[in-house]
A and B are shown apart, each in its own frame.
Chain A
Amino acid sequence: MADTSGAAARAQGAPMPRFTFDRGPAAICAVIFIAVALVIAQAVNLHQMVVYLIGGVLGLALYHASFGFTGGWRRMAVERRGRGMRAQLLMIAVAAIAFIPLLAVGAPLGSPIVGALAPVGVSVLVGALMFGFGMQLGGGCGSGTLFTAGGGSARMLVTLAFFVLGALVGTAHLPMWLTLPAIPPVGLGAVFGPAGGVIVTLIALALVALVTVVIERRAHGALEAISAPTRTGWPRFFHGPWPLVGTGILLAGMNVVTLLVTGHPWSITFGFGVWGAKIAQAFGVGVENWAFWNWPGPARALHNSVLADDTSVMNFGILIGAALAAALAGKFAPRVRVPIASLIAAAIGGILMGYGARLAFGCNIGALFSGIASGSLHGWLWFAAAFTGSLLGIAARPIFGLDGFKKK
């Protein structure tokens, strides 16, 4: 996204680039955004409307900053540029500073809250590996798929559809995967105390960031310079691009808000499983007899309205928020010719991400972001396995005509 032309032009006294946006789509998206909020408030309750609005802010932020894990990891692996990864690590660190102490309190606002903790075992290892591989083929991770699909990428609609399918299949197999070796959840906050848990998490994140700095300096001699924005003030707010670091901090804050409002951290892929199960059920598939969909939480989600499911409603908010952001940026739904091989990669990537996320107790948001911020050891296993999977996925991209370790 580096663009120095605006800065150079302004230095010569040239005017700021005009703020243009797709008026029709922006107006429609804004109306839809507000209308859906009101419908949810009426159909469910105000609490659920707030959950949806949180999703909307997330979608707006993710799109305007292009805050994607997939691209950031690929830049690190291919170009040895770590700015995107470091922004992600900072985001997780900021969230952890709040999460771990809040989780230790247990009910900071009166209602109990719980973190994203999960066993550390084979299912996380295999699932995250699959997810990391899939995200490079699919073109986006959990949040990336949502905001790019919402922003108008037809290819990502394919990824999203197969993501839902993969998540559904994952629910059928998860009981089997859970019989494989695993140790109980390890919460760093419980092991080291809240302060110790925060310190250990921050040190570990700092070490990973340091590794990215060392790699980048060795490859390029210096860290990537951050170019001056082409817009400032309100035009930049509405049109983007938003700064990575600032957006990362905002996303961390919104995850804390999610934790306090819903009682659990931000997650994405459970919603995909619910959508897949409901669609399958509508076509006569007896998912209500599957073991997973008889566990209390999933059963409740399956039998209740999808608007009563926090994760689903937040996902809706992200999709519509991203659509609004894209329209404001003048970039909504560009018609781009997508080769068949690329569509196949999108489908395969989506299935792998959906299935892998189900096994691994979440995606980059639920397991990596929320997991590590909650002080869960499984989040770190997820990180390592998914990054490894990503490297393999990058290597496989050229099979589908996509850029791999070497540019096409």
Chain B
Amino acid sequence: MGKAKLQFAKRYTFFTDIRKNPISYLLVLPALLYTFVYGYMTLPYMVIAFQKFNYTKGIFNSEWVGWKNFEFFFHSTAATMVTWNTIKLNFLSILFGTVVALLFSILLNEIRSRLFKRVSQSTLLFPHFLSWIIVSYIVYSFFSTEHGLINNLLQTFGFDPYNWYSDPKPWTWILVGLSVWKETGMSAVIYLAAITAIDDSLYEAAKIDGANRWQQIKSITIPMLMPTLSILTLLAIGKIFYSDFSMIYAIIGDNGMLYSTTDVIDTYTFRTLRTSGNPAIAMAIGLYQSVVGFVLVLSANWIVKKFNKDSAMF
């Protein structure tokens, strides 16, 4: 009996694995199915980008048009505008978000009162729990032309009220400010966790050598944070081609006067799908985003790998 079984068990295939661990495979099945449907079965739909898509004919019988949909997009002025806006807004948010979060994680770490530390940490984290719709209400209560708080203040000090919702210029900074406002607490808590993990003996040794607070921060805290910092930053840069749709669309919506500085690839794709009823062009833009985004993620990971092999994603 042993011999026959042994020979059979020699080749350990995928199916052997399933037979040996049926429960494990059963447990992973729902997630596997979901990922298969939404992550893989969606891929064939991407051929729509090369078609003159017709809902009744479907993806198999629609007319093939080659690169035409891409040409339509790249010949429009929107292509450079939305690409530039996406990169600009993300880059500035990463830059300021990281600097502010780093600053506050270091400052919070210096606080001696535990209670104050905990309370302020929770306070900084709070905006993260709000939806962008709520944030858009807050934005409106500050910038609304008629009733907004900022225009009130301007008028109190004798300035003319300003029509914020029709001037695209300040919105780059308003959006960057909002993303810093909403997400800084979260990143600061991550950095604070990394600071707490630094070995205390390093600081003890520095103190014995006569290093003051500032020298300790400069020579211990910041260098020790570098791995976490560089990884989080590079990962964010890897996603620089994707915007938070729910943020931009909640705050700007379909206000065409602000598009020139705020319209990003995600909102543009959404609007193309919604208004033109032509999914082919929306798909072409989506494919452009997916491909460039993929290349950027791979590059970011490649750079992380060069710095520190263990912290790369793959």
The answer to whether A and B assemble together is no
